[in-house]
Structure 1
């Protein structure tokens, strides 16, 4: 009986050690952080010179995301303030993406000249984005260039473009 108890205790100890080893995980699966960008843009969906924040909605480097920005431009007493907001979708792999987007930009003007908008007036226009984007996989310098058609019920500018420089984190 004593031998049986000893064998049973040893068997139980060996099984306990094996189950402890089975609990250890190997290397953890890599966690992909969502891409977030800050950038300045000339032209594009903000129309003027804007500062922007862009982020994906999920923990991926591509897919659905959004952006928001603020811009200001003044020449000879004529002032334009813009607030671009848009949704965008990134297609690609690694650090190179094609961006498709649709949004709206609030514009407030003041001064004497009329270019696209009535002077001293606020307006909302529609914007699109067709951009090539280089965005590092971890963090670092980001670059965007492309077309940003602009439209309202009064006009359509299909070849309006933009250039962005920024940082991905």
Structure 2
């Protein structure tokens, strides 16, 4: 697992570090967005801020930070569940590469979530793969659908972990 993470981090820095010999022909698209995540990122719901970094006309890096909510997962087949479930504050974040043209991008990268509360695992690291619809103008809706599975396995996590999510928000 350490080799995979190290390889991805080195690849991201290598892409950023390549010198670009071109005239500034990158589209003047918005570089910031705020959005709501439903499911995914080890949260039931989260509010997020994202910053885009243009590498070239077909590759964009993105960094995200957010605050979310999750709760304890209890499966009660025989008998009753406890009357109160544990609630958690989550802090999802990611660095992803986005490859595509115009408004359509394939997204891939690494994400993590800090889980604040009494849980057996306070941090989850996971790969992210998804599709992103990124507008070309400010104050337009952005959309992403993505999936992820934690490296550590979901059987050791106390929270409700959904391996896919949907995001919608506004660029500015």
Q: TM-score when scaled to structure 2?
A: 0.64
Q: Secondary structure at the match of 2:137?
A: coil
- 1:127, 1:38 → 2: CA distance? 22
Aligned length: 133
Name 1:133's counterpart in structure 2: 132
Q: TM-score when scaled to structure 1?
A: 0.65
The answer to whether 1:161 aligns with 2:164 is: yes
Residues 1-169 of structure 1: matches in 2 within 5 Å? 32-33=28-29, 35-58=31-54, 62-73=59-70, 76-110=84-118, 117-118=119-120, 123-139=122-138, 140-152=140-152, 155=155, 160-169=163-172
Question: Are the counterparts in 2 of residues 48 and 82 from structure 1 also a CA contact under 8 Å?
Answer: no
Higher Cα Rg, which structure: 1
- 2:122, 2:96 → 1: CA distance? 22
Deviation at 1:33, TM superposition (A): 4.4
Q: Indicate how the Cα distance of structure 1 residues 83 and 131 shifts in structure 2: closer, same or farther if over 3 A, else same.
A: same
Deviation at 1:57, TM superposition (A): 2.5
Gaps of 5+ in 2: 1-24, 73-83
Q: Indicate how the Cα distance of structure 1 residues 34 and 152 shifts in structure 2: closer, same or farther if over 3 A, else same.
A: same
Q: Deviations over 1:29-67 (max 9, x none)?
A: 786245321110012224321101111124867422211
